[in-house]
Amino acid sequence: MAGTTHYVKIDKKKTLAEEPHTGHNRWHEGIPPILTIDPGDTVVLEARDAWDSQFDKDTTNDDVGRATTDLVHPHTGPVYVRDAEPGDLLEVRIGETRCDRWGYTVQVPGFGFLRDTYQAPHITKWDIADNWATSQQIPGVRIPGAPFMGSIGVAPSTSLREAYLRREAELLSRGGAVNGPQPRGAVPADPAIADEALRTIPPREIAGNIDIKQLTAGTTMLIPVATEGALFSVADAHFAQGDGEVCGTAIEVAATFTAELHLRKGEAERRGVQGLQFFRDGFIMEPAWQAPKRFYATTGLPIRADGTNEPEDTSLAAANALHQMIAYLVDEWGYDEQQAYTICSVAVDLKISEMVDVPNFVVTAVLPLDIFI
Protein backbone atom coordinates (compact mmCIF):
# COMPACT_ATOMS: atom_id res chain seq x y z
CA MET A 1 0.00 0.00 0.00
CA ALA A 2 1.31 3.46 -0.92
CA GLY A 3 2.48 5.61 1.94
CA THR A 4 1.35 9.08 2.93
CA THR A 5 2.64 12.22 1.23
CA HIS A 6 3.83 14.99 3.56
CA TYR A 7 4.40 18.62 2.55
CA VAL A 8 6.69 21.19 4.14
CA LYS A 9 6.11 24.67 2.76
CA ILE A 10 8.28 27.70 3.44
CA ASP A 11 8.02 31.41 2.75
CA LYS A 12 10.82 31.98 0.25
CA LYS A 13 10.60 35.72 0.86
CA LYS A 14 11.89 35.07 4.37
CA THR A 15 15.30 33.89 5.50
CA LEU A 16 15.72 30.77 7.60
CA ALA A 17 16.34 32.94 10.68
CA GLU A 18 12.94 34.52 10.09
CA GLU A 19 11.31 31.08 9.82
CA PRO A 20 13.46 28.87 12.08
CA HIS A 21 10.72 26.28 12.59
CA THR A 22 11.26 25.14 8.97
CA GLY A 23 14.89 24.05 9.15
CA HIS A 24 18.50 24.47 10.23
CA ASN A 25 21.92 25.46 8.86
CA ARG A 26 24.11 23.32 11.11
CA TRP A 27 24.29 19.55 11.75
CA HIS A 28 23.47 18.47 15.30
CA GLU A 29 21.57 15.50 16.69
CA GLY A 30 19.70 17.77 19.11
CA ILE A 31 17.85 19.73 16.43
CA PRO A 32 14.16 18.80 16.82
CA PRO A 33 12.37 17.31 13.80
CA ILE A 34 9.84 19.41 11.92
CA LEU A 35 8.05 16.33 10.57
CA THR A 36 7.60 12.67 11.52
CA ILE A 37 6.85 10.04 8.89
CA ASP A 38 6.64 6.28 8.42
CA PRO A 39 9.00 4.31 6.18
CA GLY A 40 7.56 4.31 2.66
CA ASP A 41 6.09 7.79 2.96
CA THR A 42 6.82 10.57 0.48
CA VAL A 43 8.11 14.01 1.46
CA VAL A 44 7.72 17.18 -0.58
CA LEU A 45 10.13 19.74 0.84
CA GLU A 46 10.43 23.35 -0.26
CA ALA A 47 13.99 24.63 0.10
CA ARG A 48 15.72 28.01 0.08
CA ASP A 49 18.76 28.73 -2.06
CA ALA A 50 22.15 27.75 -0.64
CA TRP A 51 23.14 31.26 0.46
CA ASP A 52 19.77 31.98 2.12
CA SER A 53 18.61 34.92 -0.01
CA GLN A 54 21.87 36.89 0.21
CA PHE A 55 21.74 37.32 -3.59
CA ASP A 56 18.93 38.51 -5.85
CA LYS A 57 18.41 40.11 -9.27
CA ASP A 58 19.81 43.43 -8.02
CA THR A 59 22.99 42.00 -6.46
CA THR A 60 26.26 43.56 -7.65
CA ASN A 61 29.74 42.09 -7.66
CA ASP A 62 30.58 44.30 -4.69
CA ASP A 63 27.60 42.87 -2.81
CA VAL A 64 29.01 39.37 -3.33
CA GLY A 65 32.17 40.48 -1.56
CA ARG A 66 30.11 41.19 1.55
CA ALA A 67 28.40 37.78 1.61
CA THR A 68 28.92 35.46 4.57
CA THR A 69 29.15 31.69 4.73
CA ASP A 70 27.68 31.84 8.25
CA LEU A 71 24.20 31.37 6.74
CA VAL A 72 25.14 28.41 4.50
CA HIS A 73 23.22 26.05 4.00
CA PRO A 74 19.57 26.56 5.02
CA HIS A 75 18.26 22.99 5.18
CA THR A 76 14.62 22.01 5.24
CA GLY A 77 14.19 19.39 7.96
CA PRO A 78 14.95 17.36 9.95
CA VAL A 79 12.44 14.65 9.03
CA TYR A 80 12.13 11.91 11.65
CA VAL A 81 11.62 8.46 10.09
CA ARG A 82 9.95 6.06 12.50
CA ASP A 83 11.90 2.87 13.28
CA ALA A 84 15.15 4.24 11.81
CA GLU A 85 18.14 3.45 14.00
CA PRO A 86 21.92 3.25 13.73
CA GLY A 87 22.99 0.36 11.51
CA ASP A 88 20.14 0.91 9.04
CA LEU A 89 20.37 2.35 5.56
CA LEU A 90 17.98 5.16 4.70
CA GLU A 91 16.83 4.61 1.12
CA VAL A 92 15.99 7.88 -0.61
CA ARG A 93 14.15 7.42 -3.91
CA ILE A 94 14.44 10.80 -5.59
CA GLY A 95 11.29 11.80 -7.42
CA GLU A 96 11.83 15.39 -8.51
CA THR A 97 13.78 18.57 -7.88
CA ARG A 98 11.59 21.37 -9.25
CA CYS A 99 13.56 24.60 -9.54
CA ASP A 100 12.42 28.19 -9.37
CA ARG A 101 12.81 30.26 -12.53
CA TRP A 102 15.82 32.33 -11.49
CA GLY A 103 19.26 31.41 -10.21
CA TYR A 104 22.80 32.63 -9.76
CA THR A 105 26.44 31.56 -9.75
CA VAL A 106 28.78 33.48 -7.45
CA GLN A 107 32.51 33.61 -6.94
CA VAL A 108 33.01 34.50 -3.28
CA PRO A 109 36.52 35.63 -2.25
CA GLY A 110 38.34 32.90 -0.35
CA PHE A 111 36.03 30.16 -1.64
CA GLY A 112 36.28 27.88 -4.67
CA PHE A 113 38.88 25.52 -6.11
CA LEU A 114 41.02 28.28 -7.66
CA ARG A 115 40.47 30.72 -4.77
CA ASP A 116 44.13 31.77 -4.75
CA THR A 117 43.89 32.86 -8.40
CA TYR A 118 40.41 34.36 -8.58
CA GLN A 119 39.93 36.60 -5.58
CA ALA A 120 37.50 39.21 -6.93
CA PRO A 121 33.78 38.82 -6.14
CA HIS A 122 31.58 38.01 -9.13
CA ILE A 123 27.96 37.10 -9.84
CA THR A 124 26.25 35.60 -12.87
CA LYS A 125 22.44 35.78 -12.89
CA TRP A 126 20.51 33.10 -14.76
CA ASP A 127 17.02 33.11 -16.22
CA ILE A 128 15.50 29.63 -16.33
CA ALA A 129 12.84 28.55 -18.82
CA ASP A 130 11.98 25.32 -20.67
CA ASN A 131 14.80 23.51 -18.84
CA TRP A 132 17.48 25.92 -20.07
CA ALA A 133 19.45 28.59 -18.22
CA THR A 134 20.69 31.73 -19.97
CA SER A 135 22.46 34.82 -18.65
CA GLN A 136 23.04 38.35 -19.88
CA GLN A 137 26.39 38.21 -18.07
CA ILE A 138 27.57 35.29 -20.25
CA PRO A 139 26.06 35.84 -23.70
CA GLY A 140 26.13 33.02 -26.22
CA VAL A 141 25.75 30.22 -23.68
CA ARG A 142 22.73 28.06 -22.92
CA ILE A 143 23.00 25.52 -20.07
CA PRO A 144 20.73 22.44 -20.03
CA GLY A 145 19.00 21.61 -16.77
CA ALA A 146 19.69 18.52 -14.67
CA PRO A 147 18.31 19.61 -11.28
CA PHE A 148 19.38 18.02 -8.01
CA MET A 149 19.89 18.87 -4.35
CA GLY A 150 23.51 19.54 -3.48
CA SER A 151 23.04 18.71 0.21
CA ILE A 152 21.08 15.63 1.26
CA GLY A 153 21.91 14.00 4.56
CA VAL A 154 21.06 12.75 8.02
CA ALA A 155 22.09 13.91 11.49
CA PRO A 156 25.17 12.51 13.22
CA SER A 157 25.06 10.79 16.57
CA THR A 158 26.62 12.61 19.50
CA SER A 159 29.71 10.43 19.35
CA LEU A 160 30.09 10.92 15.59
CA ARG A 161 29.65 14.67 15.82
CA GLU A 162 32.30 14.87 18.52
CA ALA A 163 34.63 12.68 16.46
CA TYR A 164 34.09 14.87 13.39
CA LEU A 165 34.86 17.99 15.44
CA ARG A 166 38.08 16.46 16.77
CA ARG A 167 39.37 15.39 13.38
CA GLU A 168 38.48 18.73 11.77
CA ALA A 169 40.20 20.65 14.58
CA GLU A 170 43.30 18.51 14.06
CA LEU A 171 43.14 19.18 10.32
CA LEU A 172 42.84 22.91 10.98
CA SER A 173 45.94 22.74 13.20
CA ARG A 174 47.84 21.37 10.19
CA GLY A 175 46.77 24.27 8.00
CA GLY A 176 43.73 22.67 6.40
CA ALA A 177 40.78 24.69 5.08
CA VAL A 178 38.19 23.98 7.77
CA ASN A 179 35.13 25.85 9.04
CA GLY A 180 34.73 25.06 12.73
CA PRO A 181 31.64 25.65 14.88
CA GLN A 182 30.30 29.18 14.43
CA PRO A 183 27.31 30.34 16.48
CA ARG A 184 27.05 33.58 14.47
CA GLY A 185 24.21 33.08 12.00
CA ALA A 186 23.42 29.60 13.29
CA VAL A 187 19.89 28.19 13.15
CA PRO A 188 18.92 26.98 15.70
CA ALA A 189 20.52 29.83 17.66
CA ASP A 190 20.33 27.95 20.98
CA PRO A 191 23.94 28.02 22.28
CA ALA A 192 23.62 24.40 23.44
CA ILE A 193 23.43 23.50 19.75
CA ALA A 194 25.07 26.38 17.89
CA ASP A 195 28.30 26.32 19.91
CA GLU A 196 28.97 22.64 19.15
CA ALA A 197 27.22 22.04 15.82
CA LEU A 198 28.92 20.97 12.61
CA ARG A 199 29.08 23.36 9.69
CA THR A 200 27.29 22.14 6.58
CA ILE A 201 29.94 22.98 3.97
CA PRO A 202 31.94 19.71 4.08
CA PRO A 203 30.31 16.39 3.18
CA ARG A 204 30.82 13.61 5.68
CA GLU A 205 29.91 9.95 6.19
CA ILE A 206 26.34 11.12 6.89
CA ALA A 207 26.33 12.61 3.34
CA GLY A 208 25.27 16.27 3.49
CA ASN A 209 26.88 18.71 1.04
CA ILE A 210 28.02 16.11 -1.47
CA ASP A 211 27.27 18.15 -4.64
CA ILE A 212 26.93 15.04 -6.81
CA LYS A 213 25.28 15.89 -10.14
CA GLN A 214 24.08 12.31 -10.65
CA LEU A 215 21.45 12.74 -7.90
CA THR A 216 18.71 13.77 -10.30
CA ALA A 217 15.16 12.40 -10.46
CA GLY A 218 15.27 8.60 -10.64
CA THR A 219 18.40 8.06 -8.55
CA THR A 220 18.16 6.08 -5.31
CA MET A 221 20.47 7.02 -2.44
CA LEU A 222 21.55 4.79 0.44
CA ILE A 223 22.67 6.77 3.51
CA PRO A 224 23.90 5.11 6.73
CA VAL A 225 21.65 6.06 9.64
CA ALA A 226 23.63 7.45 12.58
CA THR A 227 20.95 8.37 15.11
CA GLU A 228 17.39 7.44 16.03
CA GLY A 229 14.89 8.61 13.43
CA ALA A 230 17.64 9.34 10.87
CA LEU A 231 16.76 13.09 10.95
CA PHE A 232 16.81 13.64 7.18
CA SER A 233 17.27 17.10 5.63
CA VAL A 234 17.91 18.72 2.23
CA ALA A 235 19.33 22.01 0.92
CA ASP A 236 21.37 23.64 -1.84
CA ALA A 237 19.37 23.01 -5.02
CA HIS A 238 21.27 23.21 -8.31
CA PHE A 239 19.66 23.67 -11.71
CA ALA A 240 22.90 22.52 -13.35
CA GLN A 241 26.49 21.81 -12.33
CA GLY A 242 29.71 20.55 -13.80
CA ASP A 243 31.48 17.71 -12.02
CA GLY A 244 33.68 19.66 -9.64
CA GLU A 245 31.54 22.80 -9.06
CA VAL A 246 34.89 24.49 -9.29
CA CYS A 247 34.14 28.16 -8.62
CA GLY A 248 32.30 27.17 -5.44
CA THR A 249 28.74 27.41 -6.72
CA ALA A 250 26.63 25.88 -9.46
CA ILE A 251 23.45 27.44 -10.88
CA GLU A 252 22.00 28.00 -7.42
CA VAL A 253 18.22 28.06 -7.03
CA ALA A 254 15.39 27.67 -4.60
CA ALA A 255 13.45 24.49 -5.29
CA THR A 256 10.94 21.87 -4.22
CA PHE A 257 12.30 18.37 -3.59
CA THR A 258 10.23 15.18 -3.68
CA ALA A 259 11.43 11.78 -2.48
CA GLU A 260 10.14 8.52 -1.06
CA LEU A 261 11.96 7.38 2.09
CA HIS A 262 12.41 3.71 2.97
CA LEU A 263 14.51 1.75 5.45
CA ARG A 264 16.85 -1.17 4.87
CA LYS A 265 17.01 -2.50 8.40
CA GLY A 266 20.49 -3.41 9.62
CA GLU A 267 21.99 -3.21 6.13
CA ALA A 268 24.61 -0.55 6.88
CA GLU A 269 25.98 -2.61 9.75
CA ARG A 270 25.76 -5.92 7.90
CA ARG A 271 27.50 -4.61 4.78
CA GLY A 272 29.93 -2.29 6.52
CA VAL A 273 28.67 0.76 4.61
CA GLN A 274 30.68 3.79 5.71
CA GLY A 275 29.15 6.52 3.55
CA LEU A 276 26.71 7.41 0.80
CA GLN A 277 26.07 4.96 -2.01
CA PHE A 278 23.61 5.45 -4.88
CA PHE A 279 22.32 3.81 -8.05
CA ARG A 280 19.91 4.28 -10.93
CA ASP A 281 18.70 2.80 -14.21
CA GLY A 282 18.91 5.26 -17.09
CA PHE A 283 20.66 8.52 -17.86
CA ILE A 284 20.80 11.38 -15.37
CA MET A 285 19.79 13.81 -18.14
CA GLU A 286 19.31 13.76 -21.90
CA PRO A 287 21.92 11.31 -23.28
CA ALA A 288 23.28 13.90 -25.72
CA TRP A 289 24.30 16.03 -22.74
CA GLN A 290 25.45 13.28 -20.40
CA ALA A 291 27.80 11.94 -23.08
CA PRO A 292 28.21 14.83 -25.56
CA LYS A 293 29.27 14.03 -29.10
CA ARG A 294 30.93 17.42 -29.44
CA PHE A 295 33.35 18.47 -26.74
CA TYR A 296 36.70 20.11 -26.09
CA ALA A 297 38.99 18.71 -23.41
CA THR A 298 42.10 19.88 -21.61
CA THR A 299 44.40 17.82 -19.41
CA GLY A 300 46.45 18.47 -16.32
CA LEU A 301 49.50 16.83 -14.74
CA PRO A 302 50.88 17.35 -11.21
CA ILE A 303 53.57 19.75 -12.39
CA ARG A 304 53.95 23.30 -11.06
CA ALA A 305 54.53 26.36 -13.22
CA ASP A 306 58.24 26.35 -12.29
CA GLY A 307 58.56 22.76 -13.53
CA THR A 308 58.52 21.11 -10.10
CA ASN A 309 56.94 17.65 -10.26
CA GLU A 310 54.60 16.86 -7.34
CA PRO A 311 54.11 13.08 -7.34
CA GLU A 312 50.59 11.65 -7.45
CA ASP A 313 48.92 15.02 -6.74
CA THR A 314 45.45 14.89 -8.27
CA SER A 315 44.47 18.31 -6.91
CA LEU A 316 47.36 19.97 -8.74
CA ALA A 317 46.57 18.02 -11.90
CA ALA A 318 42.93 19.10 -11.70
CA ALA A 319 43.91 22.74 -11.19
CA ASN A 320 46.20 22.60 -14.22
CA ALA A 321 43.46 21.08 -16.39
CA LEU A 322 41.09 23.79 -15.21
CA HIS A 323 43.54 26.63 -15.87
CA GLN A 324 44.02 25.27 -19.38
CA MET A 325 40.25 25.15 -19.94
CA ILE A 326 39.83 28.73 -18.75
CA ALA A 327 42.60 29.82 -21.12
CA TYR A 328 40.83 28.01 -23.98
CA LEU A 329 37.51 29.73 -23.22
CA VAL A 330 39.22 33.12 -23.14
CA ASP A 331 41.23 32.58 -26.32
CA GLU A 332 38.70 30.68 -28.44
CA TRP A 333 35.37 32.13 -27.28
CA GLY A 334 36.31 35.61 -26.09
CA TYR A 335 35.12 35.41 -22.49
CA ASP A 336 36.97 37.04 -19.63
CA GLU A 337 38.54 34.78 -17.02
CA GLN A 338 35.74 35.06 -14.46
CA GLN A 339 33.11 34.31 -17.10
CA ALA A 340 35.18 31.30 -18.13
CA TYR A 341 35.56 30.17 -14.50
CA THR A 342 31.77 30.30 -14.14
CA ILE A 343 31.24 28.27 -17.32
CA CYS A 344 33.62 25.65 -15.94
CA SER A 345 31.66 25.48 -12.68
CA VAL A 346 28.27 24.96 -14.31
CA ALA A 347 29.15 22.92 -17.42
CA VAL A 348 32.68 21.42 -17.39
CA ASP A 349 33.23 17.94 -15.95
CA LEU A 350 36.53 17.16 -14.24
CA LYS A 351 37.45 13.50 -14.68
CA ILE A 352 40.29 11.43 -13.27
CA SER A 353 41.70 9.76 -16.37
CA GLU A 354 44.39 7.69 -14.67
CA MET A 355 45.89 7.21 -11.20
CA VAL A 356 48.44 4.49 -11.91
CA ASP A 357 51.14 5.98 -14.12
CA VAL A 358 53.37 7.24 -11.33
CA PRO A 359 54.47 9.88 -10.69
CA ASN A 360 52.04 11.70 -12.98
CA PHE A 361 48.30 11.28 -12.64
CA VAL A 362 46.07 12.79 -15.36
CA VAL A 363 42.92 14.84 -14.80
CA THR A 364 40.81 15.84 -17.81
CA ALA A 365 38.40 18.77 -18.07
CA VAL A 366 35.60 18.15 -20.58
CA LEU A 367 33.53 21.00 -22.04
CA PRO A 368 30.35 20.18 -24.05
CA LEU A 369 30.48 22.44 -27.11
CA ASP A 370 26.75 22.46 -27.75
CA ILE A 371 26.22 24.90 -24.88
CA PHE A 372 27.36 27.66 -27.26
CA ILE A 373 24.60 29.26 -29.32
Biggest alpha carbon distance in the chain?
A: 65
Q: What is the model's pTM? A: 0.97
What tens digit of pLDDT does each residue of 137-164 get? 999 999 999 999 999 999 999 999 999 9
- Predicted pLDDT of residue 1: 47
- pLDDT tens digit sequence for 271-308: 999 999 999 999 898 888 888 999 999 999 999 999 99
Beta carbons of 80 and 216 less than 8 angstroms apart: no
How many whole angstroms from its chain centre is CA 174?
Answer: 25
CA distance 139 to 103: 16
Domain locations along the chain = 5-287, 292-371
| Average pLDDT for 170-180 | 95
pLDDT tens, residue by residue, 1-16: 479 999 999 999 999 9
The CATH code for residues 292-371 is 3.10.28.20
- Give the model's pLDDT for residue 2: 73
Instruction: Note the pLDDT of residue 289.
Output: 85
Stretch 30-56: mean pLDDT: 99
Classify domain 5-287 at the CATH topology level: Jelly Rolls (2.60.120)
| Confidence class for position 28, pLDDT limits 50, 70, 90 | very high
- pLDDT at site 288: 82
Q: What DSSP designation does 141 have?
A: B
Query: Tell me, what's the pLDDT at 45?
Result: 99
DSSP string, 6-71: EEE---TTS-GGGSGGGEESSB-TTSPPSEEE-TT-EEEEEE--TTTTS--TT--HHHHHT--GGG
Closest to 149 (Cα-Cα) out of 112, 226, 101, 96: 96
CB atoms under 10 Å from CB of 18, counted, come to 12
Number of C-beta neighbours around residue 17 at 10 A? 15
